[in-house]
Amino acid sequence: MKHTEAWKRNTPNEIKIGLISISDRASKGVYSDEGIPALQSWLMSAISTPCVFHERLIADEQEIITETIVELVDDLGCDLVLTTGGTGPSRRDVTPEATLDAGTREMPGFGEQMRQISLRFVPTAILSRQTAVLREIEGHAALIINLPGQPKAIAETLEGLKDADGKSIVPGIFAAVPYCIDLIGGPYIETNESIIKVFRPKSAIQKS
C-alpha cells in the first residue's frame, strides 16, 4: 500500500489517534456529543508523547462504523482508534460487529478487563459487548478498542481504579496499550505516570 501525505508524522514518535463517537441523536445534532471531548481530554492528560487526533461523529450504522475505522487506519495512518457508544444489547448497538468487520485479529482481553472494571459499579456491566481488534494492512497495523459511552466510564476503563492513596486496585486497559502498539510496529508511547503507568517488559523499555 502506498502511504499518502496524510500518513506523515511531525516527529518519529508522534502517535495518530482516531476518535469515533457513535450516536444516532448526537450525529443528528439532537444533543451535544460528550464522547469525543471526554476521550480527548483524558488522552491529552495521560499521554506525554506528541499526538494527532482525527475525530468522527457518526450514526449507529454498521457499515458506516466499519468504513470510518478503515478510513482512519488505511487513509490517515492512525495507530490507535477508540470508539465510544453502541456496545449494548439493543438492536441499534452494532459497534462490536462493525469493529470485528474492520479487524484482522480480535483482542478480547480488552473487553474482558473493561467489564471487570465496570462490574465494580453496576451489575449490568455484563451486558456490555465491548471488544478490541487489530487491523493489519501492508506496512501498517492499528489497535481498535470499543469504549463505553459515558464520560465517567470512559475514564474508569482507561485509567483503572485507585484507592484513596492513589494505589492501583484494578488496572486500566490503557496500561497495556503502548506495549501492544510497540508489538505491532507503531510509535513508542510514553505517559504521565500520575494518570496511568504503562507496563512493558524490561527488555522493551527505551531509555530516554
In a domain, 92, yes or no: yes
- Among 55-64, 148-157, 160-169, which is the least confidently predicted range? 160-169
Domain membership of residue 68 as a residue range: 9-203
Indicate whether 97 belongs to any domain.
yes
Sign of the CA dihedral with 54 first, then 104, 88, and 122 last:
negative
Cβ-Cβ contacts under 8 Å for 115 (sequence gap 6 or more): 125, 126, 128, 130
Starting at the edge strand that comes first in sequence, how are the strands of the sheet with 15-22 ordered? 51-58, 15-22, 80-84, 140-147, 132-137, 105-106
- Would you say residue 208 lies in a domain? no
| Domain presence at residue 2 | no
Per-residue model confidence as pLDDT tens digits over 86-141: 999 999 999 999 999 999 999 999 999 999 999 988 999 999 999 999 999 998 99
162 in any annotated domain: yes
Do the domain assignments include residue 152?
Answer: yes
Percent of the chain's residues with pLDDT above 70: 98
Average pLDDT taken over every residue of the chain: 92
Length of the chain: 208
Stretch 37-62: mean pLDDT: 96
Contacts of 133 (CB under 8 A, 6+ apart): 99, 100, 102, 103, 104, 105, 106, 107, 143, 144
Question: Which of 27-31, 46-50, 97-101, 103-107 shows the lowest mean pLDDT across its residues?
Answer: 27-31
pLDDT score of 208: 65
| pLDDT grade for 159, boundaries at 50, 70 and 90 | very high
Q: Give which of 197, 194, 204, 142 is closest to 174, Cα–Cα.
A: 197
As for how many domains the chain has, the answer is 1
Confidence of residue 8 (pLDDT cuts 50, 70, 90): confident
Q: Please answer whether residues 183 and 141 qualify as being in contact, where contact means their C-beta atoms are separated by less than 8 angstroms.
A: no
Q: Is residue 18 part of a domain?
A: yes
In-domain check, residue 187: yes
CATH classification at residue 198: 3.40.980.10
